[in-house]
Chain A
Amino acid sequence: MQDLPPDIWIAIRLTIELAATATVILLIVATPIAWWLSRSRARWKEAVAAIVALPLVLPPTVLGYYLLVLLGPSGPGGFVAGLWGARTLAFTFEGLVIGSVIYSMPFVVQPIRNAFDALGDRPLEVAATLRASPIRAFWTVAVPLARRGFLTGTVLGFAHTVGEFGIVLMIGGSIPGKTKVLSVAIYDYVETSQWHEASILAAGMVVFAFVVILSMMLIEKRVSRVGE
């Protein structure tokens, strides 16, 4: 591993930072969305669900294109960037976080919503008859009972952010230390015929994916044995 150039380590660190930040934001944003989708009786809620799920089917480049427009100097992203004197959110770490959050949203919302759906009304009714306010019932009953959904959502959100490529390239480019994440780094190595580095990174990603999925399955098994 000593022969790995330092820019690989920078890319690895950046990727983890990006995925961790995006995952935290995803959980904060996706939980209320999933709750609303699961509990609301609004007729148009499935339309909202479809919008959240769009990144599943849209080509990442399409999503990346719109994000580029939105985050760029003449979009709302540019206006927000102007608040701290920058010109644009595109080609910045913040821009990447925003893109990742949108792109990975369905992978976090869906498992959490499924877990909330699986609860049914009963546990919350029981909580209400025991004087628990809706907020207390949410934190002490719904969230702990839906923990498998949260676990799956967290792992998928993180892993999916680590693996994204198309959007990153569209809105982030390949600025070392700022936007050059692992998937882009592999692409760059291949472009410049650095096969050795590319193959090490690619193999690393395979191992990472395997470890993520295996540990998720093991933890789920454990969690389900304790609960339900």
Chain B
Amino acid sequence: MTESKMIEVAFRGTLGRFALDATFMVPATGVTALFGPSGCGKTTVLRCMAGLQRLSEGFCIISGDVWQDRTTFRPAYRRPIGYVFQEASLFPHLSVRRNLLFGAPRRRQISAATETHFNEVIDLLGLDGLLDRSPQNLSGGERQRVAVGRALLSEPKLLLMDEPLSALDRQTKDEILPFLERLHASLSLPVIYVSHDIAEVERLADNLVLMQAGRVVTAGRFSDVLSNPALPLALTKEAAVSLDAVVRSYDAKYGLATLEVDGGRFTAPMPSAPIGSRRRLTIAASAVSLTREPPRATTVLNILPATILSATPAGEHETVVLLGLGPGGSGSHLLARITQRSWDDLGLAEGMIVYAQVKGVALAPA
């Protein structure tokens, strides 16, 4: 078990009137989103993982390293973590540079490797030019980037992020998300990312732990959890699926890229796209409509044959249809949210082959 690349977590206990009983196991690679409504205990789980909070029963093993069990409790400062709080929480009495280096391993001599690492993080987060400033003179977005950099420079084995964007306005969020996506793409560091904003999760997460009222509803690969109609996410109005795609060709004349996913191809407008680069497609359930015959002469670019895998009523008069692309529906999953009347009028049924018209595809680097 010592070599297992898993994050195994179980916390049980009460905090005031709130009862937490959260158990999950996810791979120690990529970004794992801890997702759920406000007050469901996500942050508490994260704080317990960090050792900032101690519940009566706790169990936390990271890649075979025991951080907490019946007999062990490693205090926070002995856990190789990076923690990004909701508010940047920079030290006001230190410059940006000294904030960044606060947690950096103190070696007698600054080795070439340390310096390379420092420069990489500065580059990745665009911190050049802020180094000698005081945290007071930074914008909210800049501060949060410094906080991320400070956590990274402590050379963690696990990065914990507690809604790092929620204190920021929409515009600043959009300014930071690309940095986080680059982080995701360029570092092999496992990340636990707490959020209640599905849009952030869609852009970043590989795995998802879905929480509700102090309990874990489900944990697994993000795309599986998202498209599983048995789980509440698929039945919400904002339901969407995320698909990992590879750029196969690019038509410069129309500015359109062809992206291949498991079981199908999508066409989407993009400013430019290197062939072979990876993108993440997000397709909202409400942007997918179904026809039984292949439609002709339509403005919709993406029409894919798909097999109806299941249908689940959502609300009173709507149905969420789970579709499988590719032969027999064995490829990627799509969700379509249609009216109950359309379902009946078209005589749709499970196992039937239909054509999914996709009206909108959102793209993010993967």
Contacts and interface: CB of A to CB of B under 8 A. Distances in A.
Contacts of A132: 77, 102-103
Nearest to A126: B89
A227 B93 contact: yes
B222 to A, nearest CB: 26
B76 A129 contact: yes
Contact of B154 (A122, A131, A134): A131
Interface string A101-128: 0000000000000000000001101111
A125 B52 contact: yes
A97 to B, nearest CB: 33
B184 interface: no
B151 interface: yes
Contacts of A131: 77-78, 80, 103, 105, 154
Contacts of B154: 129-131
Contacts of A134: 77
B92 A145 contact: yes
Interface size class of A (residues with CB under 8 A): 20 to 34
Contacts of A147: 93
Contact of A129 (B81, B92, B105, B136): B81
A126 B83 contact: yes
Interface in B77-95: 77-78, 80-83, 85, 87, 89, 91-93
Contacts of A123: 89, 91
A170 to B, nearest CB: 43
Nearest to B76: A128
A12 interface: no
B322 interface: no
B77 A133 contact: yes
A228 interface: yes
Nearest to A122: B89
A141 interface: yes
B177 to A, nearest CB: 23
In the A-B complex, the 4 residue pairs with the closest CB atoms: A130-B103, A129-B83, A128-B76, A128-B77
